[in-house]
Amino acid sequence: MNAAWADHPTYPTTKRTEFTEELHGTQVPDPYRWLEDDVRKSPEVKAWVEAESKFTNDYLKAIPEREKIQKKLTELWNYEKFSAPSKHGKHYVFSKNNGLQNQFVVYTQDSLNGEPKLLLDPNSWSKDGTIALSGTAFSDDGKLVAYSQSEAGSDWTTWKVLDVESRKLLPDELKWVKFSNVSWTKDGKGFFYSRFDEPKKEAQFQSLNLNQKLMHHKLGTSQAEDVIVYQRPDQPTWSFSGSVTDDGKYLVFTSRTGTDARNRVFVKDLSKPLTDAPVEVVDNFDNDYTLIEGVGPILYFRTDLNAPNGRVIAIDMTKPAKENWKEIIPQAKENLRGVNLVGGLLIASYLKDARTQVKMFQPDGKFVREVEFPGIGTAAGFGGKPSDTETFYSFSSYAVPPTIYRYDLKTGESKQLRQAQVKFDPSQFETKQIFYTSKDGTKVPMFITSKKGLKLDGQNPTLLYGYGGFNIPLTPGFSVGPITWMEMGGVYAVANLRGGGEYGKDWHKAGTKERKQNVFDDFISAAEYLIAEKYTSTPKLAIQGGSNGGLLIGACMTQRPDLFGACLPHVGVMDMLRFHKFTAGRYWVDDYGSPDKAEDFKSLIKYSPYHNLKPGVKYPPTMVITADTDDRVVPGHSFKFAAQLQYCQAGDAPVLARIETRAGHGAGKPTAKVIEELADEYAFLYKNLKMK
């Protein structure tokens, strides 16, 4: 079955077994089950990874344009990048990357024009930039910062504490923390966080994450002395996340069972002992409740209760029963994504057809004003405290580099602080938003960005990107990758598929469980639209997506191998019958359903990419991309898919497995590795889409 192509030898030999498993009365073959073993523990998997990596590297090195593409990416990437500042005590804090630094560096300033002083430099933590800063939390007075480190892209983090004035590291160190924020008590003597039990050494990158506990750490003590604030050994799948209100009066914590935005709400009065039972304000998993802030006994929440697009309610803790809840901001036509209480105003961020819209309200719900932005794009930020008089945000779009603004909450005036200076001319590019029709008649938005004056002759190399899951929206933002692609003559399209967070709860639910096929139909329809409208044609059309988007690419290329010119599935969920057995996979049953349930199994096996590859089919040129320390979507998914795809491939189109070392699911990846990966992808597309 293995294919050869003119300028390259056949694929490395991959052992194939006769292993099958009976699931719900169906015999399911799994010939590459052995590739699920941890590459760090299994010599056999390690040897396979090395052979595939050599094969892939030899193929990519032979593309003469690869070096030129990497040079262009490096040149464009080399610009100063800033985060929007935030105020903590008497300091402003911001992150900056000089251009090609592997990790962003954190600085403090005494004023917005003051001299930046180094606070945290993750580049000094490892030679290759693979230890990243993954979170920070400042004490109320800004004198201390808790920060977390993640190694080699793992979701596991270690938290440490630094004295902001002296820059001295305190002895506190917290391990086995994952999917957790940190929230300080008002007095700055300790903080709340969530942790798992220490896993067995050989299973830390693969074992299921169960029995998370909400903890309190007292500064200056060992982690072993930390107090368990709340745990539910009877409910091992519950996870916890806690926040202290700005006035220090309450600890509000939520519990979830998966990735879905549905949670219980518990409130602890912090004037009472930590071991006292909390008040359970919401005792079911029917809806989402996200704490905005607390002012005295009033707690503000963003919720989708009776409002699929979201609204704001207030709960008075002196009478917390549901019949006393008060609506503050009613549901709008737009999707309410987040709300902050800053400077005495509720700052509400909406998505209007996948672009940012920000409105401000008084705490009683009275509309104050809308923020004006310079076009189609994404604005992020608007954080701060109820007592602040200013807030900060960044604005960017596909061809508009990030600009940082200070926003005066009293006057409503935005003032530009910094603008990224990238070596390209934004005026040469344009972004259009179009709406196309999916298979069942649903209207779906898509952003199409290209150089101005594009000829619609069906000959434009086009990269179509999608995600479509977990209530996550794709909004217009700046990235050097797509700019490089368009400088190479390409068109960049992003489809806002069902399953995402663009249009609220109903849009998300329409792409989950037995309705997941809608997501693939939406993406296939986006590809057909681009071809019908002469933006591109099948031989010139590439598709790309990561994680749940990797599943999207795997499902679409197995369903429509005739439609695409090249495929780039990143860190994809490719085995839909075993995803729930590793690390965080169990959380995803909210979106996918559970393979352990017969009804869900019926839907999952129909589209599971690994199980739907068929021998004798001509699949498009494909580079399967993963990393050896991905403990979110374990690399076994991509290993098995790549092996089966190489086995099934009937045409002469290449099937490569690109396996990054000392890297994880994507977060915290050093700049050098990001540029290398993009250069490999674009070189692969250059060759296989026959670009000039």
pLDDT at residue number 4: 39
Strands 462-465 and 541-546: parallel
In angstroms, the CA 637 to CA 12 distance is 18
Q: Is a pLDDT exceeding 80 seen at residue 102?
A: yes
User: For residue 328, which of 283, 287, 293 has the smallest C-alpha distance?
Assistant: 293
538 vs 8, which has greater pLDDT? 538
pLDDT at 211 exceeding the cut of 60: yes
Q: Across the strands, what pairs with 544?
A: 465, 568
pLDDT at residue 203, rounded to an integer: 58
Q: List, in sequence order, every residue forming a beta bridge with 222; answer none if it has no partner.
A: none
pLDDT in tens, 137-154: 999 999 999 999 988 768
Question: What average pLDDT score do residues 169-191 get?
Answer: 93
Model confidence at 3: pLDDT above 50 = no
DSSP symbol at 579? G
Given 547, 603, 608, 638, which residue is catalytic? Answer: 547
Helix (H, G, I), strand (E, B) or coil at 460: coil
Of 507, 511, 591, 512, the closest CA to residue 310 belongs to 507
- pTM, two decimal places: 0.87
Q: Which of these is catalytic: 216, 570, 637, 665?
A: 665
Higher pLDDT, 178 or 334: 334
Residue 508 appears among annotated catalytic residues: no
CA distances from 106 to 135, 140, 222 (A): 11, 18, 27
Task: Return the residue matching tokens 């979507």.
Answer: 633
pLDDT, residue 7, reads: 46
What's the CA gap between 128 and 303, in Å, rounded? 43
Angle at which helices 598-607 and 548-559 cross, to 10°: 70
Token reading at 59: 């193929």
Kindly state the tokens that stand for 502.
């663009």
Buried b (16+ CB within 10 A) or exposed e, 384-420: bbbeeebbbbbbbbbbbbbbbbbbebeeeebeebbeb
Give me the helices (H) in 535-588, please.
548-559
- In this predicted structure, the answer to whether residue 100 has a pLDDT above a threshold of 50 is yes
- The whole-number pLDDT of residue 156 equals 87
Give residue 1's pLDDT band: very low, low, confident or very high (50, 70, 90). Answer: very low
In degrees and rounded to multiples of 5, residue 554 shows phi and psi of -60, -40
Instruction: Quote the CA–CA distance of 468 and 499 in Å, as a whole number.
Output: 5
Q: Which amino acid is at 277?
A: A
Question: Can you spell out the DSSP letters for 298-342?
Answer: EEEEEE-TT-TT-EEEEEETTS-SGGG-EEEE---SSEEEEEEEE
pLDDT-derived band at 55, boundaries 50, 70, 90: very high
Alpha carbon of residue 643 to chain centroid = 27
Residue 206: alpha-carbon gap to chain centroid: 20
Secondary structure class of 692 (helix, strand, coil)? coil
Structure tokens at 628: 């050896």
Encoded tokens for 83: 């985060």
In angstroms, the CA 620 to CA 539 distance is: 9
Please say if the pLDDT value at position 453 is more than 70: yes
List the structure tokens of 607. Answer: 């589209």
* Residue 261 pLDDT > 80: no
Mean pLDDT of the chain: 93
pLDDT band at residue 5 under the 50/70/90 scheme? very low
Q: Any bridge partners for residue 255, and if so which?
A: 240, 264
Quick one: which H or E segment has residue 27? strand 26-29
DSSP class per residue in 207-268: S-----EEEEEETTS-GGG-EEEE--TT-TT-EEEEEE-TTS-EEEEEEESSSSS--EEEEE
pLDDT (tens digit per residue) in 472-500: 999 999 999 999 999 999 999 999 999 99
Average pLDDT over residues 142-169: 92
How much is the pLDDT for 208? 66
Token pair 């990235």 in the structure block, residue: 479
Give the CA-trace dihedral at 522, 528, 531, 533, to 10 degrees: -80
3-state secondary structure of 283: coil
Question: Is residue 463 very low, low, confident or very high in pLDDT (cuts 50, 70, 90)?
Answer: very high
Of 16-20, 232-236, 355-359, the poorest mean pLDDT is in 232-236
- Annotated catalytic residue 547: yes
Q: Is the pLDDT of residue 665 over 90?
A: no
Of 107, 158, 95, the closest CA to residue 404 belongs to 95
* CA atoms of 67 and 57, how far apart (whole Å): 13
Q: How far apart are the first and last CA of the chain?
A: 32
SS3 content of the chain, % helix, strand, coil (to 5): 20, 35, 45
Contact 159, 142 (CB under 8 A): no
More confident residue, 8 or 218: 218
Rounded to an integer, the average pLDDT of 81-85 is 95
Look at residue 540 and tell me whether its pLDDT is greater than 50.
yes
The pLDDT of residue 178 is 83
- Phi-psi region at 365: left, alpha or beta (left = phi > 0; alpha = psi -120 to 50): left
Task: Identify the bridge partners of residue 495 per DSSP, sorted by sequence position.
Answer: 446
pLDDT at residue 136, rounded to an integer:
95
Give 388-439 pLDDT, tens digit per residue.
999 999 999 999 999 999 999 999 999 999 999 999 999 999 999 999 999 9
Query: Which has the closest alpha carbon to 138: 157, 162, 154, 156?
Result: 162
Confidence of residue 590 (pLDDT cuts 50, 70, 90): confident
* pLDDT for residue 199 is more than 80: no
